[in-house]
């Protein structure tokens, strides 16, 4: 049996998903493709990595196989035994660009196992299994947005998701006259995962010091009780949530000028308050800010490298790409990659 699960791009709402916040992602038309069949032992094959791993017993290897093994372990915790299988994976999702290839792999694995063995778990349970695998087995304390979007994506729509309640609404993504591109900085700084987890700890410390259960209970005038660093982190979360709500309204009204401004504002907050951007992604955003036809841009994903989402008038970005490519290579000695992004449906059989 074969399935495919899409990556995702988050229009806005960065580092809010693990803080009971709002996010506005959509599934993208780039996928992890996965096939599953019974086998004598566990065999995992990645065409992208050109690697085959065989296991008699499931174990952690600190490699791409952990996403698959983590999902199987999560099924077994629920009493769903997964006998030895051969799982083959390929992908046209760029890794490390902020399109969440890891979540797509987890969701593809969970969906394939559920369908192949007749567990027939609801999509929301597959989302929980996938996230649990990443948090508890892989060890990245991510929120639920990536897995949720890969499972629940809908073509021509973004998902306005409340990560505290998991209530969601499909918001039409009508891009007539506009387009969304992703610029991959092709850098990933080593501190990305450690700093990501550190930001989570800082946000938890904010709640502890303020005696709150959730950022939903935090008021702006309470932030002066915090140290400078914690105040900055909390301010980003509170303001980013407001930007998501404004972005939802802008999308519904087809007001892409306002949406673009919110993207730029989000990047400044991620740079100055949450401090998860880096010199390379700042350069890309600052370069694009000066170009006519570019409505907005910001870093996406965990930070410290990765991708930049760009909102522009249709065809406008094409004229700027080459100039950006040259300026970036001259400054950093690195070549950029570009991807035009279209919306897509969530995980499905092929």
In which residue are the tokens 């709002």 written? 22
Question: What does the mean pLDDT of the chain come to?
Answer: 95
161 phi/psi in degrees, rounded to 5: -115, 130
Domain of 187, CATH number, reads 3.30.70.890
Residue 64 — very low, low, confident or very high, per pLDDT cuts 50/70/90?
very high
CA distance 27 to 151: 9
Active site residue ranges: 146
Whether 159 and 132 map to the same domain: the answer is yes
Q: Are strands 85-91 and 42-46 parallel, antiparallel or unpaired?
A: parallel
Instruction: Please say which residue of 130, 150, 173 terminates a domain.
Output: 173
Note whether 130 and 123 are within 8 A (CB).
no
CA distance 63 to 266: 32
CA distances from 141 to 167, 197, 200 (A): 21, 6, 8
Quick check: is 348 in a domain? no
| Domain tally, the chain | 2
283 phi/psi in degrees, rounded to 5: -60, -45
CA distance 212 to 161: 22
CA distance 33 to 310: 26
Whether 168 and 35 map to the same domain: the answer is yes
Whether 218 and 110 map to the same domain: the answer is no
Residue 195 — very low, low, confident or very high, per pLDDT cuts 50/70/90?
confident
- Report the pLDDT value the prediction gives residue 101, as an integer from 0 to 100: 87
Q: What is the mean pLDDT of residues 275-302?
A: 96
Q: Print the domain residue range for 64.
A: 2-173
Quick check: is 347 in a domain? no
Instruction: Please say which residue of 173, 195, 226 terminates a domain.
Output: 173
Q: 203: which 2 tokens? A: 């946000």
Among 128, 33, 121, 140, smallest CA distance to 71 is for 128
Spell out the alpha helix ranges (H) of 293-334: 316-332
CA distance 208 to 203: 9
**For residue 262, what is the enclosing H or E element?**
helix 256-272
Among 185, 330, 191, 316, smallest CA distance to 256 is for 316
- Report the pLDDT value the prediction gives residue 161, as an integer from 0 to 100: 98
**Contact partners, residue 77, CB within 8 Å, separation at least 6:** 132
pTM for the full predicted model: 0.93
Q: What is the mean pLDDT of residues 282-308?
A: 95
- Report the pLDDT value the prediction gives residue 190, as an integer from 0 to 100: 65
Q: 188: which 2 tokens? A: 């990933």
């Amino acid at each position: 049996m074969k399935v495919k699960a899409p990556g995702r791009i988050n229009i806005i709402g960065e580092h809010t998903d693990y803080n009971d916040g709002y996010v506005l992602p959509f599934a993208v038309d780039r996928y992890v493709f996965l096939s599953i069949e019974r086998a004598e032992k566990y065999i995992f094959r990645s065409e992208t990595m050109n690697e085959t791993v065989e296991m008699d017993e499931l174990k952690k290897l600190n490699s791409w196989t952990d996403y698959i093994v983590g999902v199987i372990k999560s099924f077994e915790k629920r009493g769903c035994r997964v006998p030895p299988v051969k799982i083959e994976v390929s992908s046209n999702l760029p890794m490390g660009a902020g399109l969440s290839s890891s979540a797509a792999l987890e969701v593809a694995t969970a969906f394939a196992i559920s369908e192949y063995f007749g567990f027939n778990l609801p999509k929301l349970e597959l989302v929980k299994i996938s996230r649990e695998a990443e948090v508890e087995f892989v060890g990245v304390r991510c929120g639920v947005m990536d897995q949720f979007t890969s499972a629940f994506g809908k073509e021509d729509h973004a998902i306005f998701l409340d990560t505290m309640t998991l209530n969601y609404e499909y918001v039409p993504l009508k891009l007539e006259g506009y387009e969304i591109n992703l610029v991959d900085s092709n850098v990933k700084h080593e501190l990305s995962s450690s700093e990501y987890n550190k930001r989570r700890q800082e946000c938890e410390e904010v709640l502890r010091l303020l005696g709150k259960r959730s950022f939903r209970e935090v008021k702006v005038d309470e932030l002066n009780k915090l140290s400078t660093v914690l105040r900055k982190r909390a301010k980003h979360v509170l303001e980013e949530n407001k930007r998501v709500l404004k972005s939802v309204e802008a999308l519904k009204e087809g007001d892409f000028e306002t949406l673009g401004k919110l993207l730029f504002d989000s990047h400044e907050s991620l740079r100055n308050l949450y401090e998860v951007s880096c010199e390379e992604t700042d350069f890309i955003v600052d370069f694009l800010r000066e170009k006519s036809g570019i409505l907005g841009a910001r870093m996406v994903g965990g930070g410290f490298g990765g991708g930049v989402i760009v909102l522009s008038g249709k065809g406008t970005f094409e004229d700027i790409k080459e100039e950006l490519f040259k300026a970036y290579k001259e400054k950093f000695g690195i070549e950029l990659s570009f991807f035009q992004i279209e919306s897509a449906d969530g995980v499905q059989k092929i």
